A and B are shown apart, each in its own frame.
Chain A
């Protein structure tokens, strides 16, 4: 049974979506039940995966290999390492929470859950793919549900609604609406997202095809390519750039970020959660899985590109978030700013910083998931996301405002949340290599505080407009549960990060050893609680030395 864990995690949502096709749209509770049930199966299996992953042994575990096409050298090769495992868990949590966050959707409920299940399952598929073909397969598969979710259940921006007549038909349906930068309709956001991601995805596909051709191995299998394929010179540079920018667009790195906040703003709450929580991490993860694994030398040479671009990500995203007036724009730009930290952690190519980056991905998924869920709740109650017109909502929704404070704390990286550990690891780990960026990153934290507090004050404190007096708090269990889950996860891993840390280290260690050929220091990096000492990655030094000398 245990060896099928990955298949269960991956296919439970797919089967749920399949089952939903045969359910009538009128049986709303049955629809929700099936969606929540399949998400729960996936979540339970991913929790099991997280704790059953053997961080002492390390490497790829729970491997499944099903031959798919002999002619093309493709197999459904699934497996997780210490980097994939927490991300699979994060996807499971956010999918489960997302099902409940969207509990009150009224329009076309069945279709909504079908697409959200497919979106989450495809995302999970990327995190466990050990085959380049399937990595791309699931990656591209996650894009199309976004189009429908944004378009069908999303919302227009305030400015757009002001610009169009109530019918809005003319403007929304003109062929040139895609170039209509002034006003972001949900259709515009959805189309921009899909075209942007597809355009860069095909660049990554070109990189994958070049790897396939020049490895000469007739296989898409990452594990075989990692061992046997060697690339050098301009070819390696070209492939690396295609892979890096192809996947970094979804991350999103500056200047390829513009689709992301627009998409966040248009998306319904659960979609924003999955989008910011896990979809964006597909970028970092795919870069680690493809570029770091298959092109280690080129990664060492070219990763400074990311170190340069991440400065712009952090500062630009933070500044726009500070001046944005739309709650979802603020959280969206804060997400793209925070993804800069992950790039900094990756660029430093250090044991501590890369581990920090991976933990940051997990931590950010929880924090931003909370914020988007609550922004969605506020929008559902007030039907506006315009911060200046809101205020004083803490009287009406004490639970939400309290949870929002915790969400902001997590997002800032207060001690006690897992974000703090991740941030400190990134900062400490990259200090040696990129001190300037670290200074920027620390300033970025101050900036994060500024815009999050500003938004918090604007939404929940001050005086409340009369028209929002009918809005009410999240009282029901289904409404509170998703937030409580994410808060619990964020804080409990903040206090007891031992297992998370050792799992991540077991994935990061062999990777960094291969890239930098520096043996990890087998001692505790910093203020990681002592609980993690027994499960420190034991085999790291010896194995790494063996690997270095063999190459």
Chain B
């Protein structure tokens, strides 16, 4: 393997978004240290400004079609990486907005909070571009590193500390599994880059190695049976961090999973498809059934998140171009609905000081806007038309039925009904039950902004998904040579009659 350490100008161009964000992070940190009296809000908007410029840069990449690889294929910039990076940065902006009214709860280190959030985002951007086993390990740990601190940011809160510790211990354990898996795979194949491994013989070591890598990634996305950290961590972590944790690392890990399974392991699809099917069925069923018994809205969303990951895994089990499209699209719909729901949760917890579902009683009377927004977000998560989540689910099911995954789809469909029950329980509290305390709930500007973005995303994608579908389809063109019908590419049937 040749490894070039010289960087030309065009190579630097590929790294531009990451380089800029790194520099900007230093700026944010420097500003925080230099101006002791700076208002934390200004720091937040400063960070958002940098993230938006990075987004603009990515948009420019996407439009002009700038792609390429760096460092001997370790780092790849293609349209799929750009898609994932855009999602991660979008989530970062929304999470920073969510944090503005929360940061006053932290006793110390307010400035560094934004730095850490953006740093995790940077790590996840690298994850989206990771194209070999080494960069996989480094970027994954880089991204998780920030989260270890963020989760236990409420220093005086026992739950937050417990969450941090649990996350840290299990995270380090997963990192160990990952490193061991990588060493096994490298020992068996002598290759590090995903695309070089395609023809490898399925030896025992290789199989175990990949299973270990899958376990580590399964930990990141929170698929059953690697989910055990999720409920406590989500519950204890500061709510904006929970919101971030519930979407960004999953998005980034799915970028790696797609590259790993559809590029490196493309030839073993029948074998790993079974593994994914099992993980998917377990995640959906376990997540949804346990969510029914939850009394705390953050825990409810934690378990529903496990179930949602099970849904996304259906697309991976299909293992086709269309399956990949559906994963990208689904994650996009999930991003808006989930972050929107967390914005409502924060608005309520800022005012009521609790995350118990019982305190959502009569929300419709206290704040019709918040209740309506929560209704839309929860129904989108449940997959009810005309909201984005329904199109996402349907797309995944269509991709899967083309591969004949009937059992998986049946389980998925049954789970929609199960999930509807617990989402509707929350709706019942909000709309049907009378409030115990009927004082209106105040929302602040940044939270409203996040809710508006979430509502817009959920409704627009639900009613007119075509541009977003096109974007997802264009992002995964590199997978168009996959086995199975390339349905997305067939021309539409000529209309009959009118």
A residues adjacent to B (C-beta < 8 A): 25, 60, 63-65, 67-73, 75, 79, 108, 111, 133, 136-138, 140-141, 143-144, 147-148, 151-152, 172-173, 175, 178, 186-187, 190-191, 194-195, 198-199, 202-203, 205-206, 209-210, 212-213, 217-219, 221, 223-224, 227
A60 touches B497 (CB 8 A): yes
| Contact between B496 and A224, CB atoms less than 8 A apart | yes
- A69-B466, A140-B384, A202-B414 in contact; A152/B432 too (CB < 8 A)? yes
**Cα distance A203–B416 when bound, in Å?**
11
Cβ-neighbour of B465 out of A69, A191, A224 (below 8 A): A69
B134 close to chain A: CB less than 8 A: no
Question: Which residues on the A side are within 8 Å of B470 (C-beta)?
Answer: 70-71
Residues from chain A with a CB closer than 8 A to the CB of B364 are 108, 111, 152
Q: Of A172, A190, A209, which contacts B409 at CB under 8 A?
A: A209
Across-interface contacts of A138 in B (CB, < 8 A):
385
Residue contacts A-B, CB under 8 angstroms, 28 given:
A64-B498, A68-B464, A70-B470, A71-B395, A71-B470, A71-B473, A71-B487, A71-B488, A72-B398, A79-B498, A108-B364, A111-B364, A111-B368, A137-B386, A137-B390, A138-B385, A140-B390, A141-B384, A143-B384, A144-B379, A144-B384, A151-B428, A172-B433, A187-B428, A194-B420, A195-B421, A209-B401, A219-B492
B427 within 8 A of A: yes
The number of inter-chain residue pairs (CB within 8 angstroms) is 124
Q: Is the CB of B397 within 8 A of A209?
A: yes
Q: How far is the CA of A248 from the CA of B105 in the complex (A)?
A: 54
Q: A111-B364, A137-B385, A152-B364 are in contact. List 20 more A-B contacts (CB 8 A).
A: A63-B497, A63-B498, A65-B495, A65-B498, A69-B465, A71-B322, A137-B390, A138-B385, A141-B385, A175-B293, A191-B424, A191-B428, A194-B424, A195-B421, A202-B416, A206-B410, A206-B413, A217-B493, A219-B492, A221-B493
Closest 10 CB pairs between A and B? A63-B498, A202-B413, A151-B432, A137-B385, A223-B496, A199-B417, A209-B401, A213-B401, A141-B385, A224-B496
**Whose C-beta in chain A lies nearest to the C-beta of B361?**
A173
Interface SS majority for chain A = helix
Bound complex: CA A133 to CA B402 (Å)? 16
Contact A227 B496 (CB under 8 A): yes
- Is A173 touching B433 in the complex (CB atoms < 8 A)? yes
With A195-B420, A195-B421 as known contacts, state yes or no: A205 contacts B465, CB within 8 Å: no
* Residue from B379, B404, B417, B469 within 8 A of A195 (CB atoms): B417
Q: Say yes or no: is B292 at the interface (Cβ < 8 Å to chain A).
A: yes
Could you tell me the distance between the alpha carbons of A212 and B485 in the complex, rounded to whole angstroms? Answer: 14
Partner of A209, one of B398, B428, B495: B398
B358-398 contacts to A (CB < 8 Å): 358, 364, 368, 379, 384-386, 390, 394-395, 397-398
By the criterion CB–CB under 8 Å, are A191 and B421 in contact?
yes
The secondary-structure label for the interface of chain B is helix
B490 within 8 A of A: yes
Shortest distance from the beta carbon of B13 to any chain A beta carbon, whole Å: 32
Of all chain A residues, the one with the shortest Cβ separation from B465 is A69
Residue of B322, B397, B428, B496 contacting most chain A CB atoms (<10 Å): B496
Nearest residue in A to B400 (C-beta to C-beta)? A209
Please indicate the chain B residues that have their CB under 8 angstroms from the CB of A203 in the complex. 413
User: How far, in angstroms, from A213 to B384 measured CA to CA in the complex?
Assistant: 22
Would you call B466 and A70 a contact (CB within 8 A)?
yes
Confirm or deny: B114 has a beta carbon within 8 angstroms of a beta carbon on chain A.
no
For residue A149, give the distance in angstroms from its CB to the closest CB of chain B. 10
Contact A218 B413 (CB under 8 A): no
- Interface membership of B168, Cβ < 8 A: no
Interface residue from B292, B384, B433, B469 paired with A69 (Cβ < 8 Å): B469
Task: Give the residue of B401, B421, B488 whose beta carbon is less than 8 angstroms from that of A212.
Answer: B401
Nearest B residue to A144, CB-CB: B384
The answer to whether A178 touches B421, judged by C-beta atoms less than 8 angstroms apart, is yes
A148 and B466 form a contact (CB under 8 A): no
Cα distance A218–B395 when bound, in Å? 13
Q: Is A175's CB under 8 angstroms from B292's CB?
A: yes
Which of B404, B424, B488 interacts with A147 by CB under 8 Å?
B424
CB-CB under 8 A from B417, the residues of chain A are 195, 198-199, 202
The residues of A that contact B413 with a CB separation of less than 8 Å are 202-203, 205-206
Q: How far is the CA of A210 from the CA of B395 in the complex (A)?
A: 14
**Are A71 and B325 in touch, CB under 8 angstroms?**
yes
Among the interface residues B322, B409, B497, which one has the most CB atoms of the partner chain A within 10 A?
B497
Scoring B401, B421, B428, B469 by chain A CB atoms within 10 A of each residue's CB, the highest score goes to: B428
Measured between alpha carbons, how far is A498 from B428 in the docked complex, in Å? 47
User: A199 contacts which chain B residues (CB < 8 A)?
Assistant: 414, 417
CA distance A69 to B472 in the complex (A): 13
CB-CB < 8 A to B464: which residues of A? Answer: 68
Q: Does B431 contact A (CB under 8 A)?
A: yes
Q: CB distance B432 to A218 under 8 Å?
A: no
Give bound CA distance, A213 to B496, whole Å: 19
- B487 touches which of A25, A143, A218 (Cβ 8 Å): A218
CA distance A148 to B495 in the complex (A): 38
Instruction: Tell me the complex Cα distance, A175–B291, Å.
Output: 12
Q: Which of B177-219 contact A (CB under 8 A)?
A: none
Report yes or no: A75 in contact with B498, Cβ–Cβ below 8 A: no
Q: How far is the CA of A73 from the CA of B490 in the complex (A)?
A: 10
A residues in contact with B432, CB < 8 Å: 151-152, 186-187, 190
Which residue of chain A lies nearest to B322 when distances are taken between CB atoms in the complex? A71
